[in-house]
Amino acid sequence: MTTALVPVGDLERMANAVAASKLFGLATKEQALALMLVAQAEGLHPATAARDYHIIQGRPAMKADAMLARYLNSGGKIEWHEHTDDKVAATFSHPQGGSLKVDWDMARAKKAGLGGKDNWTKYPRQMLRARVISEGVRATNPAVAIGVYTVEETQDFDAPKRPRERDITQEVEREDEDVTLD
């Protein structure tokens, strides 16, 4: 379902309201506006951005349940096999991408360096479920999640490194060394 385009001025007012409400985890009006533009580009009403996305470590992240809902709405099916704090397994099937069983367990999460993180110790089933959803959706219908990760995946990324300021005096000294006078 494609919605009518919302004028930029209206988007800016909506972004201000969403950011000021602090209800959706968007810290700034710029974050809200950027996500609203993404939603509008996808043919969705801009308000769905606040519902379906978070900004984690400066990156847009689609909520796992929103990713799964889009997958199901696109004709995908899922059959859950196991759903515990130790293991989550499901079979994903889509007319365009075939069928695939995906599972994540705590041993795999720990091997990937994830199992000891705060959310993984507090909410292991939810974190495993999100990994199963993102892997299954991407494998059988990647059009649902082009260029975005789930919130749970982005929380596991290392914090972005800040660029170091260059030492101007070292740069000048190096340039001086390269100069030769004849």
Q: Which pLDDT tens digit goes with each residue over 53-90?
A: 877 777 778 888 999 999 999 999 999 999 999 999 99
Q: Is the whole model's pTM more than 0.85, yes or no?
A: no
- Range with the largest mean pLDDT of 13-22, 35-44, 90-99: 90-99
What is the gyration radius of the CA atoms in the chain, in angstroms? 22
Q: Give every CB contact of residue 109 below 8 A, 6+ residues apart in sequence.
A: 115, 120, 124, 127, 128, 131
Find, among 78, 82, 106, 110, the residue nearest to 94 by Cα: 78
Distance CA 160, CA 79 (A): 36
Distance CA 13, CA 5 (A): 15
Find, among 152, 148, 137, 1, the residue nearest to 69 by Cα: 137
Find, among 182, 149, 172, the residue nearest to 59 by Cα: 149
Confidence of residue 25 (pLDDT cuts 50, 70, 90): confident
Q: pLDDT (tens digit, 9 = 90+) per residue, 147-167? A: 666 666 666 555 555 444 444
Q: Give every CB contact of residue 119 below 8 A, 6+ residues apart in sequence.
A: 126, 127, 152, 155
Spatial contact of 100 and 137, defined as CB atoms under 8 Å apart:
no
What is the amino acid identity at position 62? Answer: M
Provide the H-helix boundaries in the chain: 8-21, 29-41, 48-52, 64-73, 106-111, 118-122, 124-140, 151-155, 168-178
